[in-house]
Amino acid sequence: MALLRRSEPLVSVVVPAYDVAAYLPACLDSLLAQTHRNLEVVVVDDGSPDDSGAIAEEYAGRDPRVRVVHIVNRGLGGARNEGLRHVRGDVIGFADSDDVVPPGAVAALVGQLRRTGADLVTGDVARLEGPAGAEQLRPIRWMRRLHKDRSAVVIEQQPELLGDVFAWNKLFRREFWEGAGLSWPEGVRYEDQPAMTEAYVRARRIGVVPDVVYHWRIRDDGTSITQQRASLQDLEDRWTTKRMSLATVEGLGSATVSRVFLDKVLPGDLWRYFLLVPGLEGSEGDAWWQLLVSGVREFWGGHRSLTHSVLPPVHRLAGWLVENGRRDDVALVMRHVAALDGKPLPRVRMPNGETRVDVPGLDPRTVAREALLVRDEEL
């Protein structure tokens, strides 16, 4: 593996831009304020209908580190791939145009990349929430846990890292990216997971830093791609990218990594879909439900049921009910969860000393024991 030759290697950050005129200046300002100065920012105007392209050109006119590429709309994956055709750096990274990169982020990541000789390096992320001008940073507990130590590992040593699927809290050696033949899937949402899973599996060494290297904006207007889950296309894309990612993990040939992936990584976002079940209506709602059931059965039917997963008790229960096609009961459970407003489900201590969740109206005698149990560490 070739070492990075310069003390400050050129880092190329690809920034796709589509309908983000309100957010793009803050993103670009944050990148240009990095303490690591040897930087280029390749903004890809992905056929944006607003002034995003013009804003990017204005920045390019003021700072030679910014270059702009204008393309016909291809979606996030296509825009990232196009941006990669124009980078010149030894190290590459990505930022979404509605997010913010803290000033020491690139330096922290490059430092660990150089110290460890890793192919890629990843850091912690905080959520940026609230209205413009009054945003607040909030930690993501599970991301903090994955990045608690400064380290260098292979994926077999820390398979839970596969849950950090984000594109934008990482840097990659360009020679690794190109040598591994990595690219972003196009024409599908949730493209981060299959690409990042492939990168983790192919990497000879992965650097980890505990620093928060990215501020992920959670829009309160419901316009971001990941906030539009109630459509058939969204769910189809979700299953497609999970399928691609699982195939990559299984190709590694490690039973341990595959088990962790199925139990601790792939299920992580399912609760968001379970919450939608009470609101399903009409023929499209019926089709969406059937697609949810078929996907859960494909990935977790049989011995690796969602009852083995890291989902909290109520969502393990919902997953088991989905797997068994019990739509009305899933809706019942999710409505009860909504009424509790963040409080846990009531629990019942059984004669054998075990504890189970309790949902009024759901007969526990009709549910598998393992779907109701609360684990000792959850008590």
Q: For position 130, which CATH number holds? A: 3.90.550.10
Domain edge (last residue) among 227, 243, 258 = 227
**Displacement of CA 284 from its chain's centroid (Å):** 27
Average pLDDT over residues 184-209: 97
Same domain, 223 and 320: no
pLDDT range class, residue 5, cuts 50, 70, 90: low
Higher pLDDT, 249 or 8: 249
Residue 304 pLDDT level (bands cut at 50, 70, 90): confident
pLDDT band at 192 (very low <50, low <70, confident <90, very high): very high
Q: Tens of pLDDT along 76-135?
A: 999 999 999 999 999 999 999 999 999 999 999 999 999 999 999 999 999 999 887 788
Q: In sequence order, what are the residues at sequence separation of 6 or more whose Cβ sits closer than 8 angstroms to the Cβ of residue 85?
A: none
Nearest to residue 28, comparing CAs of 128, 97, 108, 104?
Answer: 97
pLDDT-based confidence at residue 221 (cuts at 50, 70, 90) = low
For residues 221-232, average pLDDT? 64
pLDDT of residue 302: 75
Could you give the CA distance from residue 158 to residue 194 in angstroms, rounded to a whole number? Answer: 18
pLDDT attached to residue 219: 80
Statement: residue 36 has pLDDT above 70: yes
Query: Considering the domain boundaries, does residue 238 fall inside one?
Result: no
pLDDT of residue 73: 97
224 pLDDT band, cuts 50/70/90, is: very low
Residue 199 shares a structural domain with residue 63: yes
Q: Specify the DSSP element, H or E, that contains 355.
A: strand 355-357
Q: Evaluate whether 270 touches 320 at the Cβ level (below 8 Å).
A: no
Burial class (CB in 10 A: 0-12, 13-18, 19+), 349: exposed
Backbone Cα Rg of the chain: 22
Q: Which of 10-24, 132-146, 263-277 has the lowest mean pLDDT?
A: 132-146
**Which domain-ending residue is among 197, 227, 257?**
227
Cα gap 128→219, rounded to integer Å: 9
Place of tokens 């791939």: 81
Identify whether residues 76 and 144 lie together within a single domain.
Answer: yes
Instruction: Please indicate, yes or no, if residue 57 is contained in any of the structural domains.
Output: yes
Task: Note whether 144 and 68 are same-domain residues.
Answer: yes
Tell me, what's the pLDDT at 117? Answer: 96
CA dist 220 and 95 (Å) reads: 20
Where residue 213 falls among pLDDT bands split at 50, 70, 90? Answer: very high
- What was the pLDDT predicted at 6? 60
pLDDT exceeds 60 at position 225:
no
Q: pLDDT grade, residue 241 (50/70/90)?
A: very high
Tell me: do 350 and 217 sit in the same domain. Answer: no
Q: Does residue 29 share a domain with residue 175?
A: yes
Would you say residue 17 has pLDDT above 70?
yes
Higher pLDDT, residue 224 or 24: 24
Does residue 282 have a pLDDT over 80?
A: yes
Residue 18, in any domain of the structure: yes
- Percent of the chain's residues with pLDDT above 90: 91
Q: Are residues 123 and 186 in the same domain?
A: yes
Q: Is the pLDDT of residue 2 over 70?
A: no
Note whether 169 and 102 are same-domain residues: yes
Query: Tell me, what's the pLDDT at 222?
Result: 53
pLDDT at 379 over 90: no
**Mean of the per-residue pLDDT values for the chain?**
94
pLDDT given for residue 4 in this prediction: 63
Query: Is residue 139 in some structural domain?
Result: yes
Is residue 15 a contact partner of residue 27, using CB atoms and an 8 Å limit? yes
Q: What is the SS3 assignment for 140?
A: coil
Could you tell me if residue 130 is inside a domain? yes
pLDDT at 8: 87
pLDDT digits (tens, 9 = 90+) for 324-365: 999 999 999 999 999 998 888 899 999 999 999 999 999 999
pLDDT at residue 303, as a whole number: 72
Q: Is residue 41 part of a domain?
A: yes
Q: Are residues 63 and 203 in the same domain?
A: yes
Per-residue pLDDT band at 293 (split at 50, 70, 90):
very high
41 and 170 inside one domain: yes
Whether residue 244 lies inside any domain: the answer is no
Orientation of helix 282-300 relative to helix 232-252, angle to 10°: 10
The answer to whether residue 183 is domain-embedded is yes
Structural domains in the chain (count): 2
Dihedral angle over CA of 200, 149, 160, 154, nearest 10: 40
- Which of these three, 174, 200, 227, is where a domain ends? 227
Backbone angles phi, psi at 39, to 5 degrees: -140, 145
Is the same domain home to 218 and 315?
no
Whole domain around residue 113: which residue ranges?
11-227
213 and 325, same structural domain?
no
> Could you report the per-residue pLDDT of 45-77, keeping only the tens digit for each?
999 999 999 999 999 999 999 999 999 999 999
